[in-house]
A and B are shown apart, each in its own frame.
Chain A
Amino acid sequence: MALVQNFPFISIILSLAAGPVSSVLGAKKAKWLNLLVITVIGAMSAAVLAFVVGTGESYVYTMGHFPAPWGNEIRVGVLEALMALFFCVVMLLCMLGGSRERFLELEESKENLYYVLVNLLLSSLLALIYTNDLFTAYVFVEINTISACGLIMIKQNGRTIEAATRYMIMSLLGSGLFLLGICFLYDLTGHLLMSNIQEQVRAIKAAGTYHLPLLVCVCLMSVGLAIKSALYPFHAWLPDAYGYSTLSSAAILSSLVSKGYVFLLIKIFFRVIGFGIIDDSKVIDVLFAFGIAGMIMGSVDAIREDDVRRMIAYSSVAQIGYIYVGLGLGTTTGVIASLYHILSHAATKALLFVAVSGLTDASGDSTDFFDLTGAGYRNRLAGVAFTVGSFSMVGIPLFAGFISKYLFARAAIWSDSKMLVTLVALAVSTILNAVYFMKTVIRIYTPEHPAVLKKKKFRAVTVSDQPAKSAAMVCFIILNLILGLSSEPIVHLLERGMNMFA
């Protein structure tokens, strides 16, 4: 076995071990360790991606001396490696962009615990991406939930504590339903390994027994993960959690944590149950309907919001809706559109959060919409970054969001019954997106009267004031342009990954 093939396992263990180690380090050392770990894991994921693309087939890595149905295993293909690489890049930039806020908002004596949480969160995301075992997935979902909760409440004020409580309750409900689903599935198939479950499920389907429990189990797992990834009617925890937590937490939660669950759900659909059975069960039609509702209602809520960070948070509800619509179309092209949207939304939403914090820094730390008047002149880079992010979200060509909308539209054409609904919802949602994002862009480029500026004591922020945040914004803009301009190879990689995936 080539050395590169060990990298996925090493990256999981490395980030897992970095958690306890940073709990005994000081804040500064823990921060550097965290950045180092993320970088190393990103490099290793890139190597794995190159290796898997080269060999052209996925491989299975046994965790221990015992082969598949008895021991644990992880499975690595193009899709998994690509996701791992991308998640590492986004997480690194989020941590970089939010370092000033962490310094200002966290208690000094507890700052190292933040890095414990981030390291363990990264390891759980990697494990969710790579695992080929349903119960391992559940264990790492637990780590993911608890660390996300900690990330929300570590900036301690009433708002974040309430948000964390809400997140905890909703997320535990989701975990509980997911666990019930796994129990049902184990009882029906006698396996926890994904590939074996699929064999057994096929046998059950062929024999025609256990129709109802299988349906219930698919429902439980879908709803559980939908709650955790904030699909529309289950999104009540989202705006507070993203709106009030510290910057890097909000960026990581919105761009990575919810996407990890969506990826797990895609894995369950394709590798555990089999997409044919899911398609027959009408569960995806429900997810499709929720997704459409989310696309519209998330944007409507965002329009009504006066707090910019909460507005961006509500926009996440709409974007998660897009992802579920792609899943709900029931075709592989739809799923590829969803996967692309996972990438483009992760890159764009994190950029928006960082850019907004740059703008609020130049507006006396107020997140109120009207205080941002002219903020684009006071912090020029953040203004440009916010404009790029908004264009991407609305779906202007050249930027990442356009490609994913194009892919959604292309996928919708292949579906007979859902084409019209999807296209109309896409159009309506694009207009609604434009309403609130363009409104904000216009607001930040409307010059404010100098007297008002003087009275409110707003001061300009230059690049040299916030080097880390500026670097993160520039990198995010580049990432967006890469996703928007050279989407062809990435879509091609996703297609190859999907072929290997099932």
Chain B
Amino acid sequence: MSRKISEEQYRKTRSYRLARWLDGTKDPYVGEVEMRPQPVPKEENWRQRELRRKEKRDMLTHVYDIERNRELKAFRIAYQAVSVAFCLFLVLMLLIAVSYLPTIGHPENPANNEVSARYIENGLQETGSVNIVTGMILDYRAFDTLGESHVLFIATCTVLILLRLDGKKGRNARDVRVEDDSAHEPENDAVLQLVARILVPPIIIFGIYVILGGHLGPGGGFSGGAIIGAGLILFVNAFGFEKTERFFRASTYKKLSVTALGCYSLSKCYSFYTGANHIESVIPLGTPGAILSSGLILILNICVGIVVAGTMYTFYAMFRKGGY
């Protein structure tokens, strides 16, 4: 059954808007999306432009006095020539050396020895992890991974030292003024916000899945943490720092990372101590393939995931505005 509707009612329907959009009489984003033009660079007249170009051109000459400084000129040329020659030499040497290495994939290679054989054959029974790689990095060679997660932590610390702006409080505070560059970006970008609203939950859930399933299939703390970190960065891009600071602040990151690293160190302390002193570990390996299995690996994966996600987000926040 069809019925006639008035012109006014018709204007409210989707099909009318679609028709207008199709024939180009209406842009659906006008009035809906905030579109801020990029700021126009300050006009400079030809005299200023000429001056700027000339200064740039003459800078080297003025600073180093290139024309009269023969020694420096010779040094620069020699420096460039030597560096090119050195790089070529290094590349050539490495290529030649690589050509002498054992053939890739040959069964007689030295790398195919009892070490990898045991990882592959007994990895499942000994670590309880279906994913052999996870079992290798978090159980057989856990000490390396313990170091590796602290590498991430210390990298964050150095970035904090370099980029965190603490304002003018406290002793020896640096008074650094930075231009707030968020003015150049739209505040409420409808497209980005819609996409983020749709994508962020699945991304974070997928990250959690990758972390929790690290011992069952491809994945683990490092990759899952990176996914969660990417989700957080997308969220902060769409909704701004005020929204994320409701649940994730610098203090949250500190507490999380200290808890995660402490948990990691403690659990590894236990397994190193019992292992070296030949004490039987009381932690059950569980049924391989079940989510609660493979002893400490699941906990370690969660710890690594938290550290990686926090590191990624902190890096972004530091480079973006020097604090959060």
Give Cα A288–Cα B143 distance, bound, in whole angstroms: 35
Chain B residue at minimal CB-CB distance from A12: B143
Task: Tell me the smallest distance from the CB of B45 to a CB of chain A, in Å.
Answer: 33
Most A Cβ at <10 Å: residue of B101, B148, B261, B281: B101
Pairwise interchain contact A142-B151, C-beta atoms closer than 8 A? yes
Pairwise interchain contact B170-A150, C-beta atoms closer than 8 A? no
Q: Which of B110, B162, B172, B258 contacts A21 (CB 8 A)?
A: B258
Pairwise interchain contact B154-A150, C-beta atoms closer than 8 A? yes
Q: Which of B162, B265, B281 contacts A17 (CB 8 A)?
A: B265
B144 contacts chain A at the CB level, 8 A cutoff: yes
From B7-15, B22-30, B72-80, B269-277, give the one contacting chain A.
B269-277
A414 contacts chain B at the CB level, 8 A cutoff: no
A381 contacts chain B at the CB level, 8 A cutoff: no
A206 contacts chain B at the CB level, 8 A cutoff: no
Pairwise interchain contact A190-B100, C-beta atoms closer than 8 A? no
Chain A residue at minimal CB-CB distance from B274: A65
Pairwise interchain contact A110-B166, C-beta atoms closer than 8 A? yes
- Contacts of B258 on A, CB cut-off 8 Å? 20-21, 23-24
B126 contacts chain A at the CB level, 8 A cutoff: yes
Task: Tell me the smallest distance from the CB of B153 to a CB of chain A, in Å.
Answer: 6
A396 contacts chain B at the CB level, 8 A cutoff: no
- Contacts of B170 on A, CB cut-off 8 Å? 107-109
Interface string of A17-35 (1 = CB under 8 A from B): 1011101100000000000
A364 contacts chain B at the CB level, 8 A cutoff: no
- Contacts of A153 on B, CB cut-off 8 Å? 158, 161-162
B257 contacts chain A at the CB level, 8 A cutoff: yes
A6 contacts chain B at the CB level, 8 A cutoff: yes
Most B Cβ at <10 Å: residue of A20, A127, A154: A20
Q: Which of A20, A71, A103, A108 contacts B173 (CB 8 A)?
A: A108
A180 contacts chain B at the CB level, 8 A cutoff: yes
Task: Tell me the smallest distance from the CB of A126 to a CB of chain B, in Å.
Answer: 12
Interface string of A187-209 (1 = CB under 8 A from B): 11111000000001000000000
Pairwise interchain contact B118-A180, C-beta atoms closer than 8 A? no
- Contacts of A109 on B, CB cut-off 8 Å? 164, 166, 169-170, 173
A432 contacts chain B at the CB level, 8 A cutoff: no
A495 contacts chain B at the CB level, 8 A cutoff: no
- Contacts of B262 on A, CB cut-off 8 Å? 17, 20-21
Chain B residue at minimal CB-CB distance from A191: B115
Pairwise interchain contact B97-A212, C-beta atoms closer than 8 A? yes
Please judge, given known A-B contacts A19-B154, A20-B153, A107-B174, whether A66 and B140 are in contact too, CB under 8 Å: yes
B113 contacts chain A at the CB level, 8 A cutoff: yes
Q: Which of A63, A156, A210 contacts B100 (CB 8 A)?
A: A210
Q: Please provide the chain B residues from 133 to 158 with a CB less than 8 Å away from any CB of chain A in the complex.
A: 139-144, 146-148, 150-151, 153-155, 157-158
Q: Which of B93, B153, B158 contacts A19 (CB 8 A)?
A: B153
From A50-58, A113-121, A264-272, A295-303, give the one contacting chain B.
A113-121
Q: Which of B139, B140, B150 contacts A143 (CB 8 A)?
A: B150
Q: Which of B140, B151, B278 contacts A139 (CB 8 A)?
A: B151
A458 contacts chain B at the CB level, 8 A cutoff: no
Interface size class of A (residues with CB under 8 A): 35 or more
A398 contacts chain B at the CB level, 8 A cutoff: no
B119 contacts chain A at the CB level, 8 A cutoff: yes
Most B Cβ at <10 Å: residue of A133, A150, A156: A150
Pairwise interchain contact B265-A65, C-beta atoms closer than 8 A? no
A500 contacts chain B at the CB level, 8 A cutoff: no
Q: Which of B101, B115, B142, B158 contacts A150 (CB 8 A)?
A: B158
B96 contacts chain A at the CB level, 8 A cutoff: yes
B171 contacts chain A at the CB level, 8 A cutoff: yes
Give Cα A146–Cα B269 distance, bound, in whole angstroms: 24
- Contacts of A103 on B, CB cut-off 8 Å? 171
B254 contacts chain A at the CB level, 8 A cutoff: yes
Please judge, given known A-B contacts A150-B154, A150-B157, whether A189 and B110 are in contact too, CB under 8 Å: yes
Most B Cβ at <10 Å: residue of A66, A106, A189: A66
Please judge, given known A-B contacts A70-B119, A113-B161, whether A6 and B273 are in contact too, CB under 8 Å: yes
Task: Tell me the smallest distance from the CB of B312 to a CB of chain A, in Å.
Answer: 17
B81 contacts chain A at the CB level, 8 A cutoff: no
A69 contacts chain B at the CB level, 8 A cutoff: yes
Pairwise interchain contact B110-A213, C-beta atoms closer than 8 A? no
Give Cα A253–Cα B244 distance, bound, in whole angstroms: 39
Pairwise interchain contact A63-B111, C-beta atoms closer than 8 A? no
Q: Please provide the chain B residues from 148 to 205 with a CB less than 8 Å away from any CB of chain A in the complex.
A: 148, 150-151, 153-155, 157-158, 160-162, 164, 166, 169-174
Pairwise interchain contact B154-A184, C-beta atoms closer than 8 A? no
Pairwise interchain contact B154-A216, C-beta atoms closer than 8 A? no
Give Cα A272–Cα B161 distance, bound, in whole angstroms: 37
B112 contacts chain A at the CB level, 8 A cutoff: yes
15 more contacts with CB within 8 A, not counting A6-B276, A106-B172, are A9-B272, A21-B258, A24-B255, A66-B140, A69-B115, A105-B172, A108-B171, A117-B158, A139-B148, A143-B147, A150-B154, A188-B110, A190-B113, A210-B101, A212-B96
Name B's A-contacting residues (CB within 8 A): 93-94, 96-98, 100-102, 109-116, 118-119, 126, 139-144, 146-148, 150-151, 153-155, 157-158, 160-162, 164, 166, 169-174, 254-255, 257-258, 261-262, 265, 268-269, 271-278, 281
Please, could you name 23 A-B residue pairs with CB atoms under 8 Å apart, sorted by A?
A6-B277, A9-B272, A17-B262, A20-B153, A20-B258, A63-B276, A65-B126, A69-B114, A69-B115, A72-B141, A106-B172, A107-B174, A109-B164, A117-B154, A133-B144, A140-B147, A142-B147, A150-B161, A153-B158, A190-B116, A210-B101, A212-B97, A213-B97
Cβ-closest 4 pairs across A and B: A108-B170, A139-B147, A190-B110, A108-B171
